[in-house]
Amino acid sequence: MKRHFAPCIGLLIATLAVADDVGYKSVAEALASLKQMKDVSFSTVRGWTIVTDETHLTVWSFAPRTDPSYPAVVKRMVTSTGNGSKVTTGVLCEANKASCDNLVREFNSPNSRGAQP
């Protein structure tokens, strides 16, 4: 059975920060690099490619071709703070600005499809 960090969620302080980048220059570069890693798992949820890196408490969500934000990736990382944990969200979106802005809104909304890949 795959874990998706669900046990950690109850311990998080409600802080979401949007980072400027995800550590790669392009969505294709990010996906190619992750495919080379041995300790990550791949799954598909509602068309999205989800890459889970439990070692680094990171989940990568790659938009499907059918999504207006394609090509895009959202990186969510749980990090420890002095008082608990926080989730940092990085977005790399190569679509038009309106589609990219909507993607960020969806992932930052707790009731959206993107908030729970």
Supply the pLDDT for residue 112.
Answer: 59
Which residues 6+ apart lie within 8 Å of 82 measured at CB? none
pLDDT block averages, 10 residues each, the chain of length 117? 38 42 92 96 96 96 97 93 88 95 87 51
Supply the pLDDT for residue 80.
Answer: 86
Supply the pLDDT for residue 116.
Answer: 43
Strand partners, 49: 44, 62
Q: Report how far residue 41's alpha carbon sits from residue 4's, in angstroms, rounded to the nearest whole number.
A: 10
Predicted structure pTM score: 0.79
Structure tokens at 38: 């041995």
- Report yes or no: 2 and 52 within 8 Å, Cβ to Cβ: yes
Give the up-direction half-sphere exposure of residue 9: CA atoms within 13 A in the CB hemisphere.
Answer: 9
